[in-house]
Amino acid sequence: MFKFITGKSFFVNLLVVLLVVLIMIFLFFSLLGIITRHNETTKVPYVTGKSFEEAKKILAQAGLEAGIQDSVYADTARPLQVLRQSPDVDEVVKEGRTIYLTINRLVPPQVEMPDLRGFSIKSTELYLQSVGLKLGDVSYVPDIAKNAVKEQLFNNAPITPGTKINMGSSISVVVGNGVGSEEMEVPDLVGLTVDQARALLSGNSIELGAMIGLDAITDTANAFIAQQKPDLYSTLSTGEVVKNKISPGQIMDIWISSKPVARDTTTVTPNASPN
């Protein structure tokens, strides 16, 4: 039954098989260095700051591949510029290795414009940085709210909170610098519409304060001013009537009506404010 095991042909075949196996093992280890490119190494070139296309060419010349690991946005970099590379420059790697690149986004992401009104300059700058925006020009106007942001501008135009804009955009602000030292006579607003009064006061760096309706108002902008505070005149204890003064940065309160008011031209005494 086991005669074939003791036969000469069996030992010959076994010897052949062992010889073939040894040859295959020898060839495997001999060729392993070629297969794995054991001795074929190169240094990683510096491609940070290059465009992605330039980086691919430089890496290809070094026998390396380029792969995108991530894309982020930096407003100081060009679109598709390489921001980081891994492995880093001058590291020794095998030829054919993929070098992973982080590139700048082609299109900036958008963020919502925050409401900066009432913030200080320092708080404004920190807030803008936290949402990916930058502080642009800062201008000052007389206003009772000193060092507080009064208006926010994008491309020289007012921007509403919540508006979508590109990350990295510059936002300019108008800041109050306190009440001005110069004085002027209190402007006469009675009989003007709210819009007309706002335009007149804006030219003198005075703001409208409280608006009190004397009847049902459906269109505030076109409502008529019936009374104002400060009034035009004051009466001194001596009985003398003097013109009131106001400084840039102060505010004026108004009482408004849906209908034009009749002006009293018979006296220069101050208008009595309603209770």
The pLDDT of residue 154 is: 96
- Please provide the average confidence, as pLDDT, over all residues in the chain: 85
Q: What percent of the chain is predicted at pLDDT more than 70?
A: 85
Say which range, 96-110, 117-131, 139-153, has the weakest mean pLDDT: 139-153
Q: Which of 59, 87, 104 is the last residue of a domain?
A: 104
Q: Which of 5-19, 100-114, 259-273 has the highest mean pLDDT?
A: 100-114
The pLDDT of residue 253 is: 93
The answer on pLDDT for 53 being more than 90 is: yes
Residue-wise pLDDT tens digits, 157-192: 999 999 999 999 999 999 988 776 678 899 999 999
133: CB partners within 8 A, 6+ apart: 111, 113, 165, 167, 168, 169, 170, 171
Residue predicted with more confidence, 26 or 36: 26
What percent of the residues of the chain are helix, what percent strand, and what percent coil, each to the nearest 5? 25, 35, 45
What pLDDT band is residue 264 in, cutting at 50, 70 and 90? low
Residue-wise pLDDT tens digits, 118-133: 899 999 999 999 999 9
The answer on pLDDT for 150 being more than 50 is: yes
Is the domain of 164 the same as that of 196? no
Is the domain of 204 the same as that of 172? no
Q: Which of 104, 119, 141 is the last residue of a domain?
A: 104
The pLDDT of residue 49 is: 93
Query: How far apart, in whole angstroms, are the C-alpha atoms of residue 130 and residue 44?
Result: 35
Residue predicted with more confidence, 6 or 43: 43
User: Looking at the domain assignment, is residue 29 inside a domain?
Assistant: no
Asked if 169 and 154 count as a contact pair (C-beta separation under 8 A), the reply is: yes
Is the domain of 137 the same as that of 93? no
Q: Please give the distance of CA 50 from its chain centroid, rounded to a whole number.
A: 25
DSSP 249: T
Strand partners, 42: 93
The answer on pLDDT for 4 being more than 60 is: no
The answer on pLDDT for 38 being more than 60 is: no
Total domains in the fold of the chain: 3
Amino acid at 158: P
User: Looking at the domain assignment, is residue 18 inside a domain?
Assistant: no
Closest CA to 170 of 157, 179, 182: 157
The answer on pLDDT for 102 being more than 80 is: yes
Over residues 17-27, the mean pLDDT reads 78
Query: Residue written as tokens 């519409």?
Result: 193
Is the domain of 192 the same as that of 248? yes
Query: How far apart, in whole angstroms, are the C-alpha atoms of residue 200 and residue 192?
Result: 10
Over residues 190-210, the mean pLDDT reads 88
Query: 69: part of which helix (H) or strand (E)?
Result: strand 65-72
Is the domain of 76 the same as that of 132? no
The pLDDT of residue 265 is: 53
Amino acid at 100: Y
Is the domain of 201 the same as that of 170? no
User: Looking at the domain assignment, is residue 271 inside a domain?
Assistant: no
User: Looking at the domain assignment, is residue 238 inside a domain?
Assistant: yes
The pLDDT of residue 203 is: 80
The pLDDT of residue 17 is: 76
DSSP 262: P
Is the domain of 119 the same as that of 99? no
Q: Which of 133, 157, 176 is the last residue of a domain?
A: 176
Q: What is the pTM of this model?
A: 0.54
User: Looking at the domain assignment, is residue 100 inside a domain?
Assistant: yes
Task: Write out the residue range of the structural domain in which residue 205 sits.
Answer: 184-257
User: Looking at the domain assignment, is residue 60 inside a domain?
Assistant: yes
Query: 85 phi and psi, to 5 degrees?
Result: -140, 150
Query: How far apart, in whole angstroms, are the C-alpha atoms of residue 173 and residue 134?
Result: 11
User: Looking at the domain assignment, is residue 155 inside a domain?
Assistant: yes
Query: 153 phi and psi, to 5 degrees?
Result: -130, 145
Is the domain of 196 the same as that of 151? no
Is the domain of 125 the same as that of 97? no
User: Looking at the domain assignment, is residue 154 inside a domain?
Assistant: yes
Question: What CATH number corresponds to the domain at position 251?
Answer: 3.30.10.20
